[in-house]
Structures are given as structure tokens and as C-alpha cells.
Amino acid sequence: MSLGGHLDLEAAGPPRPRGGGPAATTPPADRETDVGNVCKNLFLAYKTLGVVFGGLVTSPLYVYPSMNLSSPTEEDYLGIYSIMFWTLTLIGVVKYVGIALNADDHGEGGTFAMYSLLCRHADIGILPSKRVYSEEEALLHDQTTLARRPSKLGKFFERSITARRVLLFMAILGMCMLIGDGILTPAISVLSAIDGLRGPFPSVSRPVVEAMSAAILIGLFLLQKYGTSKVSFLFSPIMAAWTFTTPIIGIYSIFHYYPGIFKAISPHYIVRFFLRNKKEGWQLLGGTVLCITGAEAMFADLGHFSKKAIQIAFLSSIYPSLVLTYAGQTAYLINNVNDFSDGFYKFVPRPVYWPMFVIATLAAIVASQSLISATFSVIKQSVVLDYFPRVKVVHTSKQKEGEVYSPEINYILMVLCVGVILGFGGGKEIGNAFGVVVIMVMLITTIMLTLVMIIIWRTPPYLVGLYAVPFVIMEGSYVSAVFTKIPEGGWLPFAVSMILALIMFVWYYGRQKKTEYEMVNKVTLERLGELLAMPEVQRVPGMCFFYSNIQDGLTPILGHYIKNMSSLHTVTIFVTLRYLLVSKVDERERVLVKSLGPEGVYHCTIQYGYADNLSLRGGEDLVAQVTRCLERHIKLSTDRQSPVSTEQEVANLEAARLAGVVHVRGKMRFYVGDDAGCFDKVMLHFYEFLHGICRSALPALGMPLQQRVEIGMLYKV
């Protein structure tokens, strides 16, 4: 049994003897396995350079240029470097590498993964599909009684619908901020890289740099539909070249300009910086926070790599590279105090300027690609969980399940990215916007991680305090500083995030209203028997897949359908797509079937996790897989209620399939009357607009167009 994709209990073998002496000698086969695991983790760590750390490791391109410095001194630069060093150390090493990577949900990371983890360990979810997955049930049963008993904080969330909604809003806001990151990272990284042309060629104007950056990004977005499989092998070498060349230049600058730079590691330089600069120093936090941009990707991209690989990559290459690169930049600026507006390219020695320009441009493009791909993944997860209107999601690689592309989202991102470059232009304005996204995601992660420590891990209160208090104070200080930048560009990510959050909330509200109506007006099995017993209702040859959103009972559209059509197919299968709050569902539990009582009437549940591909096993179509599962169910069933024999029921199933298959989907629409409340009028009209422009759920399962039927029904609010 595999837990989270990383621990294989069946392959673990017998327990090894403990203690010293010959009994503790590692067998040769185990040594080979250990060496193989080490090599695998090292290779994965190398691959993370091109996928996970693109945004973080390219931050030296724009951190100093984004700062609004005024006549900086040596002491100012030492204080700024000390702030950046401790920000990288505390947030990067302690928070993410040391703690957050352990809060995974079956190997998946990110704010929504933590939310789903909390929902399964306490009754605090308000998702309609919330259910404990059977594999998770087994894990919970293995825990002690104390661990299963809800904590006081868990009980508070269970009792308070307001607290549960706030928690859900935080998870949604975290996802929306990550999408905002997908807009700003391509803009600021490519613009900062191309800005290197202005050093050797002063005649190159700012509008020319902006136009070139916009052209590069347009080309990048237009190539998204082809996927990244064919060029992804270049990502890691490019980022490795960047990761290992910038610290070499940093070391050169340290020895050449200011060998004593590492004295700034002492925190007293931070205290002196704030005492000397006061309000201006506090406002500069909005620029220094950019040194940790992309750190959230360590956690969000956990599902694509192992925890060990990410830890190895960060501690052995990314963290030392950033510490040395920022030290070299600061050493140069101490001797050239007014060059901060071009803080990266000015500290690059002339003989290697053009090679570094090429590497920087390629690294910026790779970093942009990483955030674009992450945005597609977030949108896909939101659609799967029914928190976002359905958009087209295409899997661009047969080998990589997580490589997806959404045409609608792609072109919206392209327009927004180009708009940011042409509208803001200057790196300071984009940096102001970027800082808001960076620190808000991190503060949300800190809060949710604290809840995980209290509710799930049952961490002693003093240890929770040792984590939560310093990080809330530090990140809260950053938040207060970046909020002052809202009029200067910081409004953009807030506007984008709030629009996305509004869309998600309206969609969720409308879906909940429909679910409530369906549950109140559902067709019971007794009512179905009465409808089928009506003399005018005939059973017609064929197989019908009738799609429903509810689990307990049948959709009210069924009664509407039978009354108007006066018929039902000889084999009717009610299908429910069930999205569970787990990352992936085992293939053996993907399709669940059962008989409902009336002859030829069955129920089928197709289960997915938020990181699952909607395609079925081996490319098998839905009809074939469900028919095969039904045949197995009929043959193995011990409590048969059907009046016909097993062989006859299987034969009826095959005859119905050969007679023709039809897929029926109910389309319930709201009729908002004049007596409806103002809130409902606004929300449901907006929902109907979103519902009208979004894609149908059926094409996602590959239904042939000629087999699809939609039955409309109005629901008066």
C-alpha cells in the first residue's frame, strides 16, 4: 500500500535489527536500494531547478531596482542585506524547508492542499463533495483515540459557519494570489532581463525594452498549446547555469569591492537600519520582500517532486546562490551607492556581460513558464473542485499528468501580462504589485500551517507559539509595508484576486443553491417505482447515462424527464461525478457501481481527486469501463434483488449497449422572480451569466456529440 506516493509499506521489507554489532549490518541489496534512492533524489533535485525555483532564483534581477532608495549609505546597504539574509533564512529554510513541506496532502502542497487536509481531520469543510476517502479512513483508524478526537480549535470551526467560510475564503484567496503571481512574474522577470540592453546601448529607450519584453511574452503564450515536453529538458540546464554563475560573480564582487560584507549577517544591523531610517526603512520592506519571491512554489509544486529532492535543491544550491549573489550585489553597491536602479547588470564584470545577459534572458523565460504552468494547474484544480466555471483543460503530455493547458486562461494571462508591461512600464511599479502577492500568499500559508499544527499534528502550544508568533510578526510587518504601495501599483493583484475570488464565490453560491434544491426535491426510489408503474411510461431499448449532482437520491430532473418523455431506457445508469478532497484517487476506486432496485436501473459514481486527470484508465471510454464494472458487480453480488437470473441481466446489459447509448444531462436554470431578495438577484443573475458562457461538463469525459441530450428545467427562486 502506498501512502502519498512516497512510502511503500509492502516494499519496506522486514524490520532491521537495532543496535551495534554485526546484527545491524546493512544487507548489500538494501545498500543498493539506498544508493538508488540517493541518486533518484539528486536527479529530481536537479530537475526542480527548472520547474520549482525559477521565480525565486531570478529575483536578483529586480530586487534592488524595485527599491525606492534615496541617497543610500554603506550602513543602509548593510542593513538591507541583513534583512534579506534573515528573510531567506527564516522563511526559506525554517518555514518552508523545515516545516511546511511536511504539511502535504497525499504528496500535494499549497494552500488548498492544506485546506483539504484540515477538512478531512475535522468537520470544517463546506464543500458539497466533502468526504473522507477510504485510504484516509484507514490512516485515521491507525491514529490514537486522542489524535482522532477534535481539538478545541477544531470544535470551534465545526460550530462556527462564519469561521469555516473565512477559512475557505483564505484558501481561495491563496489560489487567486498564485494566479496573480502568474501574471506578474513573467512581466517583471522578462522586463528586468531585457533591460540589460540599456547598459551597453544607452540609446535604447524604455519603450523599446517594453515592446521587446511584450513580444517575447506574446511568443511564449502562443507556444503554450504545444506543451513544454519537447523543450522542458532545457529548463534545468538553463536554470543551473544561472544558479551557479551568479554566485561566482557575487564572490568576485565581494573580494573586489567589500570583503567584509558578511558582517551584515549580525541582526544588529537590522536594528540600526530601522532606528536610522524609521518610516522610510519600514517602507523599504516592500522592496526587500521580493528577495523571497517564488518560495511558495517549493510547497505548491510538491506534488511533482519529492520532499527530499526539494530540500536538497534549496539547501545545496538555491539558498547559497542567493546569499552569495545578494552579498556580491550589495558589496558592489556599497562602492557605487547610486547604481541601485540597475543593481544586477552593473555588478556584472564587463568580460562576461553578454553571456550573462543571454543566461538572464533565458532564465527569465523559464521562470515565466514555471508560473504559467502553475497557474494552469491551479485553474484545473479549481474547476475539478467545482469552484470555478468550467473552462477547457487540455493535457499536453501523455507522460506528464500535471502538464495541462487552458486556452481561455492562457489568452487572458497574455493580455494581462502585456498590459502590465505596457501600462506600468517601470520596474518599481511592477515590484510594488509583486510584493503584495508574495507576502499575502506567505501570510496565508503561515496561518493555515498554524491550524494544521494545532488541529492535526497536535503540536504542543509552546512550539506552536515559537513558530506562529515570530512569523506572524515578521510577515505582518511586510504586509503593513506593502499595503502602502497599493496606490503605486499594488492595487493590481488585489483587483485581479478579488475579481477571481468573486467569480469563485458566485459560482460556489449558485452551485450550492442548485444542490439544496435538488436535495429537497430529489426523486426517491419509491417515487421512481411509482413513475415507472404509470401505464403511459414505456421502457425503450438502449442504454442511458443520466448525469446527476447528488449522491443520496435521484435528481428532480428525472421526474421532469419521465413525465414529458413517457419513457425510460431498459438500462438506465445514474452517473455522479464526485470530486473528493484528496489529491488522487486509486484506479480501483475510480468507478463505483450498484443496483438501485427497479430492473435495469443502476447508480455509478466516478471519483476524482483535485490533481487527477479526468481521462479513464488506459484511454478506455466511459461506456466500456462502466459496463465492465456493472458486469462484475452483477456476477459478484450476494444480495441480488433482480427477478431475472445473473446471466440474463448481463445479457440485457450488453443488448442495451448494442441498441444505442445516450448521455442525458439535466440543465437546471434559475428563474429569479421579483419577490427574490436583492442579494439573490445579483448573485444568481451573475451565476446564470457565468453558467451560460462556461463549457459543458460532458465533453470532459469524451462523450460523442451525437449521443448527448440536454434536458432543461427552470427553478424559481
Residue-wise pLDDT for 305-351, tens only, equals 778 889 999 999 999 999 999 999 999 999 988 888 877 888 899 99
Burial (0-12, 13-18, 19+ Cβ within 10 Å), 395? middle
Tens digits of residue pLDDT in 162-195: 888 888 888 888 888 878 877 888 888 898 899 8
C-alpha 356 chain-centroid distance: 32
Q: Provide the pLDDT for residue 708.
A: 83
Share of the chain above pLDDT 70, in %: 85
Kindly state the cell numbers that stand for 299: 510547497
Position 362 confidence tier, pLDDT thresholds 50, 70, 90:
very high
**Residue at grid coordinates 511533482:** 304
Choose among 611, 216, 663, 657: nearest CA to 418. Answer: 216
* Over residues 103-129, mean pLDDT: 75
* Over residues 204-230, mean pLDDT: 86
Four-point Cα dihedral 417, 422, 428, 429, nearest 10: -80
Q: What is the DSSP letter of 599?
A: T
Kindly state the cell numbers that stand for 126: 463546506
- Give the Cα separation of 591 and 587 in Å (integer): 8
Q: Provide the pLDDT for residue 690.
A: 85
- Helix (H) / strand (E) element for 516: namely helix 491-520
Q: What is the DSSP letter of 554?
A: B
Instruction: Give me the amino acid identity at 671.
Output: Y
- Give the Cα separation of 631 and 490 in Å (integer): 59
Query: 28 forms bridges with which residues in the sheet?
Result: none
Choose among 63, 49, 87, 431: nearest CA to 237. Answer: 49
Q: Provide the pLDDT for residue 472.
A: 94
Position 10 confidence tier, pLDDT thresholds 50, 70, 90:
very low
* Over residues 603-621, mean pLDDT: 68
Does residue 37 surpass a pLDDT of 50? yes
- Give the Cα separation of 326 and 89 in Å (integer): 13
Q: Provide the pLDDT for residue 302.
A: 78
Q: What is the DSSP letter of 9?
A: S
Q: What's the maximum distance between 2 C-alpha atoms anywhere in the chain?
A: 96
Tens digits of residue pLDDT in 513-562: 888 888 888 888 888 888 888 888 899 999 999 888 777 778 888 888 88
Share of the chain above pLDDT 90, in %: 25
Q: Provide the pLDDT for residue 610.
A: 64
* Over residues 568-587, mean pLDDT: 82
Q: Provide the pLDDT for residue 1.
A: 29
Q: Provide the pLDDT for residue 125.
A: 65
Q: Provide the pLDDT for residue 19.
A: 41
More confident position, 145 or 634: 634
* Over residues 372-394, mean pLDDT: 79
Cβ–Cβ under 8 Å, residues 431 and 164: no
Q: Provide the pLDDT for residue 130.
A: 41
The average confidence (pLDDT) of the chain is: 81
Position 31 confidence tier, pLDDT thresholds 50, 70, 90:
low
Q: Provide the pLDDT for residue 344.
A: 85
- Give the Cα separation of 212 and 9 in Å (integer): 54
Does residue 620 surpass a pLDDT of 60? no
Query: 666 forms bridges with which residues in the sheet?
Result: 711
Kindly state the cell numbers that stand for 588: 480501483
Q: Provide the pLDDT for residue 23.
A: 46
Q: Provide the pLDDT for residue 80.
A: 95
**Residue at grid coordinates 439573490:** 680
